[in-house]
Amino acid sequence: MSSERPKLGPDVPKVVTAWLSASGRVVYLTKDRGWSEDLGDAEVMTGVGATDVLAWAVQDQTRVSDPYFMQVTADGQITGRETIRETIRAKGPTNHPMFGKQAGNN
């Protein structure tokens, strides 16, 4: 089941994000319906068909949990009302640059 998030209209660029069930790490849905920890690999979607992709991701609960839409720019950069939250999810803790993904701690 997907968490309630602000609804994004069909024309708003978005990606599907979730947590990897095995490790709890943040992942993004790719065009080939795989999951990647790199936001740059995510499929940026617009249009009414995006809801079908999210519905597919919700059914993939053996690999991931809580998939939902995350607003991005057309070129896949984090934007929107949850920019800070999603940036922290993508990059890791903000308390010191030696921690998290920004430090190479994958």
Asked whether residue 106 is domain-assigned, the answer is: no
Asked whether residue 30 is domain-assigned, the answer is: yes
Rounded mean pLDDT, 19-35: 94
Q: How many domains does the chain have?
A: 1
| Rounded Cα distance, 92 and 45, in Å | 24
Rounded mean pLDDT, 60-78: 93
How large a percentage of the chain has pLDDT more than 70?
A: 81
Domain of residue 73 covers 14-92
Asked whether residue 102 is domain-assigned, the answer is: no
Alpha helices in the chain (DSSP H): 50-59, 83-91
Cβ pair 99, 105 in contact under 8 A:
yes
Rounded mean pLDDT, 49-73: 94
Asked whether residue 68 is domain-assigned, the answer is: yes
In the chain, the amino acid numbered 97 is P
Asked whether residue 2 is domain-assigned, the answer is: no
Q: Residue 6: its pLDDT value, please?
A: 64
Whole-prediction pTM: 0.81
Asked whether residue 27 is domain-assigned, the answer is: yes
Q: Residue 103: its pLDDT value, please?
A: 57
Two structure tokens written together for 67: 């998939």
Asked whether residue 98 is domain-assigned, the answer is: no
